């Protein structure tokens, strides 16, 4: 029997997740966690096959969490289970050590299949994401793109990551808000995101700053 846990900050998701496997004879949900610390406390005392995790974590970076799991518990398979787009985040999380990336909109059968695949085959990749990888996609492209940013763009990005508003950034850098918006547009284009929320998450989860 496969033993797994869920790391997700949303109680409703945790409850629904448990019901997925109530009558499953091959998979058991050992526990669910809202915090990274609670997860690692459990891992230190229990054997496990799979960690399924949301990538939007309020108490830390998903990339760093994946790396820490793989470093300390290399035999545990990690599956990302999120509503965020894989085109922006999937590659970075796979590079960090996750073995698959699933949308929360998938059916129960797809979730079960993905869990079995990451344990038995060592991966689970959706068909459209697989097409991106087989088309010679550069897995280091987001980080390489970060290297093309100007010093001023990096400065603006740091303010964004730390939650500063346009008016605050404008006042600190002694630039107009229109100029700040121009820098934001350039950042989104270079880091291949479509809005400020994704820009923040791209920088945070790639551990760029």
Question: What rounded mean pLDDT belongs to the chain?
Answer: 82
141-205 carries CATH number 1.10.3720.10: no
> Measuring CA to CA, which residue among 54, 41, 42, 49 is closest to residue 12?
54
Name the CATH topology of 2-134: Rossmann fold (3.40.50)
Instruction: Name the segment(s) of the chain with CATH classification 1.10.10.10.
Output: 141-205
Structure confidence at residue 208 as a pLDDT band (50, 70, 90)? low
- Can you tell me the distance from the alpha carbon of 193 to that of 187, in angstroms, rounded to the nearest whole number? 8
Cβ atoms within 10 Å of 138's Cβ, excluding its own: 10
Q: Give the three-state DSSP class for 81.
A: strand
Instruction: Name the segment(s) of the chain with CATH classification 3.40.50.2300.
Output: 2-134
pLDDT in tens, 162-171: 888 899 999 9
pLDDT for residue 128: 39
Instruction: Tell me the percentage of the chain whose pLDDT exceeds 70.
Output: 81
> Measuring CA to CA, which residue among 59, 44, 66, 50 is closest to residue 9?
59
pLDDT for residue 124: 56
Cα distances (angstroms) measured from residue 33 to each of 15, 44, 126: 11, 14, 26
Element (H, E) at 131: helix 127-134
């Amino acid at each position: 029997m496969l033993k797994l846990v869920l790391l997700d900050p949303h109680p409703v998701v945790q409850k629904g997740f448990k019901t997925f496997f109530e009558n499953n004879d091959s998979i058991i949900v050992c526990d669910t966690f809202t915090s990274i610390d609670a997860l690692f406390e459990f891992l230190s005392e229990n054997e496990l096959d799979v960690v399924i995790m949301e990538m939007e974590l309020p108490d830390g970076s998903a990339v760093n969490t994946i790396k820490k799991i793989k470093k300390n518990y290399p035999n545990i398979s990690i599956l990302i289970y999120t509503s965020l787009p894989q085109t922006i985040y999937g590659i970075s999380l796979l590079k960090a050590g996750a073995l698959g990336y699933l949308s929360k909109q998938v059916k129960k059968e797809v979730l079960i299949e993905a869990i079995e695949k990451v344990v038995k085959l060592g991966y689970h990749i959706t068909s459209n994401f697989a097409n991106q990888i087989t088309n010679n996609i550069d897995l280091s492209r987001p980080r390489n793109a970060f290297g093309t940013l100007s010093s001023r763009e990096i400065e603006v990005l740091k303010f964004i990551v730390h939650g500063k508003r346009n008016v605050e950034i404008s006042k600190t850098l002694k630039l107009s808000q229109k100029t700040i918006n121009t820098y934001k547009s350039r950042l989104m284009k270079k880091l291949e995101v479509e809005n400020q929320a994704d820009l923040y998450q791209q920088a945070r989860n790639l551990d760029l700053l």
